[in-house]
Amino acid sequence: MSQALNKDAPLLSRNMLAVIVAQFFSAFGDNALLFATLALLKNQFYPDWSQPILQMLFVATYILLAPFVGQMADSFAKGRVMMFANSLKLLGALIICFGFNPFLGYTLVGIGAASYSPAKYGILTEITSGERLVKANGLMEGSTIAAILLGSVAGGILADWNLVAALVVCAMTYAMAVVANIFIPRLTAARPGQSWHFGAMLRSFIAATKLLWRNGETRFSLLGTSLFWGAGVTLRFLLVLWVPVALGISDNKTPTTLNAMVAIGIVIGAAAAAKLVTLQTVRRCMPAGVLIGVMVVVFALQTSLLNAYLVLMLIGALGGFFVVPLNALLQERGKASVGSGNAIAVQNLGENTAMLLMLGLYTVAIKLGAPAVVTGVGFGAIFAVAIAVLWWKARR
């Protein structure tokens, strides 16, 4: 039976912990599976340019399903939507485990992830509110980044040891996420009774997108987070090619540990944002966004592993400080206008469109033979300029 919760409960309530634990296992599986599948592609002699194609298929599911997953998150109990989505991820991981096409399996994981995202963020507005929402987002990001840290490293290390074992661990992790979702209370649906006709859903999503885009604060959040995640996913793949060129290391573990340094930094940045930024002072995060691009340029020029670790941790800290307040702002304003699930679905459309475009540019650069250093410097400079322009426009 559905129920309503007391949103004035302590931040670390039993309900919040259930959400955080479920998110940890789901995100752990996502990141471990990515690096295990990348290792599988290398093991089966797929070309280098196929690696970003794998991620592009994943990202495309977010874009194609954006008009529908937000309504799904708002029409049903969000905890049950999360459990359904994690079940799809489990099925996709099993497809890869049993030797079927990895692109097919990873696309199914993407469908699960696209369905999962509006529910996992939207549920935060149903179990907390006000200034605690920024802190709740900090907890969510902290759990996610801890999972990225451990999942990325585990995926790389296990793939070096035994590829089959790495894939099995990924499937088991998704199974644990499904179990954890059972302990999330069946909350009252936010907006039940909406039309499920394709045309009506598409028109509703377009109307929600227009409404959020016309509002200065939500437009500011949508653009900022889209730029951040577009650059972030490109940096992840850049590391895979940069490591052997700049450091002369060709294992699967080193790129994952470098990704882990970004994850550690994001935890630090998210904690700082929860302490220093409120919904009223959200523009304080913008200088950190500009500095992300600058530090990506600095990173691309490194030739020392120790320096690379330090620079990537700083990039992560700047990223956490930048993106957490923007997420909270969109959730708070979006819930009051179009529903939290729809707001996150619109955000996913923007973020994943940016990812797809940047991954496409990255794939073209690799196919044309552009050096990893040049590609990194170019993307870092573009990101810094884009955030600086957004900041300037927001202050006018």
Question: SS in 3 state form for 63-125?
Answer: HHHHHHHHHHHHHCCHHHHHHHHHHHHHHHHHHHHCCCCHHHHHHHHHHHHHHHHHHHHHCHH
The winner for highest mean pLDDT among 61-75, 99-113, 273-287 is 99-113
Burial class of residue 4 (count of CB atoms within 10 Å of its CB; 0-12, 13-18, 19+) = exposed
Residue 187, strand partner residues: 3
Closest C-alpha among 329, 308, 395 to residue 131: 329
Q: What is the pLDDT of residue 2?
A: 47
Q: How many CB atoms lie within 10 A of CB 97?
A: 18
What is the residue type of 255? P
Q: Which of 210-214, 269-273, 335-339, 386-390 has the lowest mean pLDDT?
A: 335-339
What is the residue type of 331? Q
Q: What is the pLDDT of residue 126?
A: 67
Closest C-alpha among 84, 64, 60, 90 to residue 168: 90
Average pLDDT over residues 121-150: 70
Burial class of residue 8 (count of CB atoms within 10 Å of its CB; 0-12, 13-18, 19+) = exposed
Average pLDDT over residues 225-238: 76
Q: How many CB atoms lie within 10 A of CB 103?
A: 16
Average pLDDT over residues 207-221: 79
Inter-helix orientation angle 286-300/216-242, to 10°: 20
Is residue 99 within 8 A of residue 233, CB to CB? The reply is no
Question: What three-state secondary structure class fits 140?
Answer: helix
- Phi/psi of residue 186, nearest 5 degrees: -80, 95
Residue 214 and residue 285: Cα distance in Å, rounded?
A: 22
Q: Which residue has the higher pLDDT, 147 or 135?
A: 147
Q: What is the pLDDT of residue 89?
A: 92
Mean pLDDT of the chain: 76
Q: Is the pLDDT of residue 1 over 50?
A: no
- The model's pLDDT over 101-127, given as tens digits with 9 standing for 90+, comes to 888 888 888 888 888 877 776 677 666
- The model's pLDDT over 375-391, given as tens digits with 9 standing for 90+, comes to 777 777 777 777 777 76
Q: Percent of the chain beyond pLDDT 70?
A: 78
pLDDT band at residue 4 under the 50/70/90 scheme: very low
Q: Percent of the chain beyond pLDDT 90?
A: 2
